[in-house]
Amino acid sequence: MIRVVLPAHLRILARAAGEVQLDVAGQATQRSVLDALEDCYPMLRGTIRDQVTGQRRPFVRFFACEEDLSHKAPDVPLPAAVASGAEPFLIVGAIAGGRGKRKAD
Amino acid sequence: MSKVRVLVGTRKGAFVLTSDGKREQWEVSGPHFGGWEMYHVKGSPADPNRLYASQSTGWFGQLIQRSNDGGKTWEPVGNKFVYDGVPGTHQWYDGTPHPWEFKRVWHLEPSLTDPDTVYAGVEDAALFRSTDGARTWQELPGLRGHGSGPHWQPGAGGMCLHTIILDPSDPQRIYIAISAAGAFRTDDGGQTWRPINRGLYSKYIPEPTAEVGHCVHHVAMHPARPGVLFMQKHWDVMRSDDAGDSWQKISGNLPIDFGFAIDVHAHEPDTVYVVPIKSDSEHYPPEGKLRVYRSRTGGNEWEALTHGLPQSDCYVNVLRDAMAVDSLDECGVYFGTTGGQVYASADAGDHWAPIVRDLPAVLSVEVQTLQ
């Protein structure tokens, strides 16, 4: 069982209270965790990673075990403590940036 | 008893404002989707309780929300917008080729007859359509395939398809407008398109009368007279009497003919509203006076409407999708500002009062007249 902490906006969107708990088939990686997350919560498709390229959205970060895992390849195994459920996998909206272009003013 | 429902998209959520036909007392519902940019919220003419909303942030991208009960509850629907085929390139601000990249949905236009059919105008500019209630989206690729696509260039707000007008007299005819490519029309349901910019003059582009490249800010049409179009261009207010084949300037006595919003009275096809805005980059009302201008002659002769609007120290903007009219016997006119006010007039613009004063910056205003 993998524990995932969503940022507040996505928690509201998914109507998920608190942590999300996922059963992930096979090895726990960013890709397998996000696949399982999107299977359980299809409304999150496209909000964390691009639906076409599969790339992490630029202002989304992945943290776990006090490490920034954002730049790890999607198929690199997650830390054992995440895979065992001892530590959560944190999906974070970056504090910096994020504002889109203004609506034509 | 008639009711009016005003759908407001803001920088930080959506709001639904409702009133009876008197339009004096208002109920405010919201924020819906607090913290998200709500570029546009619009109801289906075929089923007024069916609403579509464009929700986005720079962090989490684009979502589309749908309501089947007039905005009381919402469900996220399809948000996968994939350009047809190899997207190709358009011009970047510096004139170099830049790949087409989906960024957000600016405008949602529900079909006039089918609640499950809805069009989406997106940035980078393209037109998408859903026929299953916004669960899946398909591009109408003939627009970008028109041939001029590689020469389109973004305006200051991005290269957005911001205006979609469906012709009630001809289901095959659709008008769209793109900043800064110009206006286009299809007469075959979106298969093929042609630019309709003859008569536009834009001194800020290398060839001022070019076929494409004009920064069209918004276009409006009266449903009873669909061949007549009114346009607020970057500068110039324009009119076409031949479905966009040619345009004439109707700025007339406006104090300044820059602006974003334009709309037409619900019952008087020659009564047009604009909100002059100061430019270059100031983008607030001239002299700090918020004035709607009304022409009852289809352009050229304009009168300032000021009663109830701030006439000093007002420095807000009114964005292109932030003006709408209702269709009650005495036409109501509504607009929202980047200062968070939504103003309403229940007498075609003669008198104004704010419905709300302190919303986040208003991006769009649409109105539904309900029986």
B273 to A65, B79, B298: CA distances (angstroms) = 58, 34, 10
Alpha-carbon span B64 to B75, nearest angstrom: 9
**Pairs from B213-216 (Cβ < 8 Å, separation ≥ 24):** B213/B151, B213/B152, B213/B153, B213/B180, B213/B181, B213/B182, B214/B180, B214/B181, B214/B182, B214/B183, B215/B155, B215/B179, B215/B180, B216/B163, B216/B177, B216/B178, B216/B179, B216/B180, B216/B182, B216/B183
Query: Of the candidates B61, B79, B363, which has its C-beta nearest A103's C-beta?
Result: B363
B336: closest CA among B30, B87, B21, B118? Answer: B30
pLDDT of A101 strictly over 80: no
- For residue A74, the model assigns a pLDDT of 96
Place of tokens 């001892």: A86
Place of tokens 């776990």: A64
B283: closest CA among B246, B251, B258? Answer: B258
Q: In the CATH hierarchy, which fold is given to the domain comprising A2-93?
A: Ubiquitin-like (UB roll) (3.10.20)
Q: Count of CB contacts below 8 A, A vs B?
A: 78
- φ/ψ of residue A34, rounded to 5: -70, -35
On whether the CB atoms of residues B102 and B145 are closer than 8 A, the answer is no
- Closest-CA residue of B relative to A100 is B58
- For residue B124, the model assigns a pLDDT of 96
Place of tokens 């020659």: B270
B161: closest CA among B277, B7, B321, B53? Answer: B321
- Closest-CA residue of A relative to B338 is A105
Q: How confident is the model at residue A102 (pLDDT cuts 50, 70, 90)?
A: low
Alpha-carbon span B196 to B37, nearest angstrom: 31
Average pLDDT value for chain B = 96
On whether the CB atoms of residues B370 and B3 are closer than 8 A, the answer is yes
On whether the CB atoms of residues A31 and A49 are closer than 8 A, the answer is no
pLDDT of A96 strictly over 70: no
Please list every residue in chain A whose beta carbon sits closer than 8 Å to the beta carbon of residue B103.
100-101
Tell whether A61 lies on the interface with B, counting CB pairs under 8 A. no
User: Residue B247's Cα: distance from chain center in Å?
Assistant: 19
pLDDT digit string, tens, across residues B40-68: 999 999 999 999 999 999 999 999 999 99
Going from the N-terminus, what domains does chain B have, and what CATH number goes with each? Answer: 39-360 (2.130.10.10)
Alpha-carbon span A11 to B159, nearest angstrom: 31
B355: closest CA among B371, B339, B341? Answer: B341
Tell if the CB–CB gap between A104 and B155 is shorter than 8 Å: yes
pLDDT digit string, tens, across residues A16-31: 988 999 999 899 999 9
- Residues forming a β-bridge with B264: B272
Q: What is the DSSP letter of B258?
A: B
Question: How far off is chain A from B162, nearest CA to CA, in Å?
Answer: 10
Q: How confident is the model at residue B122 (pLDDT cuts 50, 70, 90)?
A: very high
Please list every residue in chain B whose beta carbon sits closer than 8 Å to the beta carbon of residue A98.
57-59
Tell if the CB–CB gap between B63 and A46 is shorter than 8 Å: yes
On whether the CB atoms of residues B214 and B182 are closer than 8 A, the answer is yes
Tell if the CB–CB gap between A59 and B58 is shorter than 8 Å: yes
Interface mutation vs chain B, best among A13, A45, A70, A103, most B CBs within 10 Å: A103
- For residue B280, the model assigns a pLDDT of 81
Question: How far off is chain B from A61, nearest CA to CA, in Å?
Answer: 10
Alpha-carbon span B15 to B30, nearest angstrom: 5
How confident is the model over B122-146, as a mean pLDDT? 96
Single-letter residue type at B80: K
Respond yes or no on whether the N-terminal peptide bond of residue B116 is cis (omega within 30° of 0): no
B259: closest CA among B309, B217, B199, B306? Answer: B217
Stated pTM of the model: 0.96
Tell if the CB–CB gap between B157 and A46 is shorter than 8 Å: no
Question: What is the ipTM metric for this complex?
Answer: 0.91
Tell if the CB–CB gap between A51 and B80 is shorter than 8 Å: yes
User: Residue B145's Cα: distance from chain center in Å?
Assistant: 23
